[in-house]
Amino acid sequence: MQQDTIFLEGLKALDITLTEKQIAQFHQYYEMLVEKNKVMNLTAITEWEEVVHKHFLDSLAIVKTMDMTKPLRVLDLGTGAGFPGIPLKIAFPELEIVLLDSLNKRIVFLQEVIDALGLENITAMHGRAEEFAKKKEFREQFDLCVSRAVANLSSLTEYCIPYVKKGGVFVSYKSQTAKEETDAAGKAIHVLGGKLEGIIEFTLPGTDLTRCFVTIKKVLETPKKYPRSAGKPTKEPL
């Protein structure tokens, strides 16, 4: 299909090869997203080309900082309409993924997508980041935590780092240069048991949009008092 050219060129730029079945799954996901978006606010972006660039390729671009071909246990925190978790699961089926979001309507939609696409070893869960991080089956149980949530890095670090096991990483997707934000998050990263591994800036394939990945390695256990109670990490960043 001609409309796939943009997607395939973007995938090539990321050195990702997909089967026809995987491409078809992306199309089906797109169609379900656009259809559901008519009755529920999932995304402001609905044109195929824009969704490909700003959602699909953006989600998959983590390959620039992580080897996603390993059998990792991944948490997508604040997944929203399923980004980056669903694209990562389609492209790298060996990943075990948990999608977590505080809005149940989104989780219901994501479960419909999981079922329709026949995805396995992926779970959509409704809950607050602060509460799930206190549960022993989630705390420090993930090789990788990812988030495209719009929040400052200090807050995101407090939400995400408690889920990462020692030796694992938290990767924050940022839509612009993150140097200042990362500097401001230095204390939070240290207190929560993390260590800044690096910041990778790049241009999204096929666009002139600047994107950024902040990679934080978990080097020490997170003190039990973190994350603080509901809303605190956002209102009063460390």
Q: What is the mean pLDDT of residues 200-229?
A: 93
- Looking at residue 232, its pLDDT comes to 87
| Higher per-residue confidence, 22 vs 42 | 22
Strand partners, 216: 170, 196
Angle at 77 between CA 73 and CA 80, to 5 degrees: 125
- Looking at residue 238, its pLDDT comes to 87
- Looking at residue 47, its pLDDT comes to 93
In 3D space, the residue among 40, 117, 33 whose CA is nearest the CA of residue 82 turns out to be 33
> Range with the lowest mean pLDDT among 19-28, 61-70, 147-156, 160-169?
147-156
Q: Which residue reads 């935590």 in tokens?
A: 145
Tens digit of each residue's pLDDT (9 = 90 or more) over 154-189: 999 999 999 999 999 999 999 876 888 899 899 999
Tens digit of each residue's pLDDT (9 = 90 or more) over 82-120: 999 999 999 999 999 999 999 999 999 999 999 999 999
Angle at 108 between CA 102 and CA 109, to 5 degrees: 105
| Higher per-residue confidence, 212 vs 150 | 212
Of all helices (H) and strands (E), which one includes residue 37?
A: helix 20-37
- Strand order in 96-101's β-sheet? 122-126, 96-101, 73-77, 142-147, 164-174, 210-218, 194-203
- Kindly report the backbone phi and psi dihedral angles of residue 55, in degrees, each rounded to the nearest multiple of 5, phi listed first: -115, -55
pLDDT tier, 2 (very low <50, low <70, confident <90, very high otherwise): low
Round to whole Å and give the CA distance between 146 and 232. Answer: 20
CATH tag for 4-235 (out of 3.40.50.300, 3.40.50.150, 3.40.50.2300, 3.20.20.80):
3.40.50.150
In the chain, the percentage of residues whose pLDDT exceeds 90 is 83
- Looking at residue 108, its pLDDT comes to 96
- Looking at residue 53, its pLDDT comes to 94
| Higher per-residue confidence, 206 vs 225 | 225
Mean pLDDT score of the chain: 94
Tens digit of each residue's pLDDT (9 = 90 or more) over 36-63: 999 998 888 999 999 999 999 999 999 9
- Looking at residue 236, its pLDDT comes to 87
CA 118 to chain centre: 20
- Looking at residue 233, its pLDDT comes to 87
